Amino acid sequence: MSQRTLVLLKPDTVRRGLVGEVLSRIEAKAGWSIVAMELRTLDRSTLETHYAEHEGRPFYAPLMEFMASGPSVALVVEGERVIEGVRTLAGPTDPIAAAPGSVRGDFGTIVRENLIHASDSEESAEREIKIFFPEGDAAVS
């Protein structure tokens, strides 16, 4: 089942020079392809919309600050079961709990700076792709 998912390489990934490393893992998966991509410092309103479900949580304010602290790479990836697949490739939220071999498990230590965001369902993917690529050419068809 071909799908599209929204991926963010967070500011820590860009600052640490790990963009190529993470992109190469995505590109190496058979049949997956990057269909939109942009380097961009995310503004407050984009982040508020994206992370609306977490408003009020104790980690929300520092998360917003971190996510606005430098450029991120936003991309849309298309391919077979890509929503579940990029979540697996990323690993669980806490990088210390994430297995070696996953992006978070290989490169992260603290929960906030966990390198990558990936949509967690078809509904989230559709919603999030529209936030970052409103022009429509990357939208789920």
Which residues are marked as active site? 117
Per CB under 6 A, the list member of 117, 125, 128, 132 interacting with ligand IDP is: 117
CB of 115 to ligand IDP, least distance (A): 9
**Binding string, residues 60-99; x marks residues near ligand IDP by CB under 6 A:** ---x-----------------------------x------
Question: Helices 19-28 & 82-90, crossing angle to 10 degrees?
Answer: 140
The Cα 133–Cα 64 span in angstroms is 20
Return phi, psi of residue 131, to 5°.
-70, -45
Closer to ligand IDP by Cβ: residue 15 or 54 = 54
Binding to ligand IDP (CB under 6 A) within 119-138 occurs at: 120
* Residue 2 found at the interface with ligand IDP (CB under 6 A): no
* Residue 5 found at the interface with ligand IDP (CB under 6 A): no
The Cα 112–Cα 59 span in angstroms is 8
Closer to ligand IDP by Cβ: residue 3 or 114 = 114
* Residue 111 found at the interface with ligand IDP (CB under 6 A): yes
Please choose, out of 1-9, 13-21, 42-50, 106-114, the segment that lies near ligand IDP by the rule CB under 6 A: 106-114
The Cα 93–Cα 31 span in angstroms is 26
* Residue 31 found at the interface with ligand IDP (CB under 6 A): no
Sign of the CA dihedral with 73 first, then 79, 83, and 84 last: negative
Q: Which of 117, 124, 11, 120 has the alpha carbon at shortest distance from 66? A: 11
Which residues have C-beta within 8 Å of that of residue 47, sequence separation ≥ 6?
64, 67, 68
Site for ligand IDP, rule CB under 6 A: 54, 59, 63, 93, 111-112, 114, 117, 120
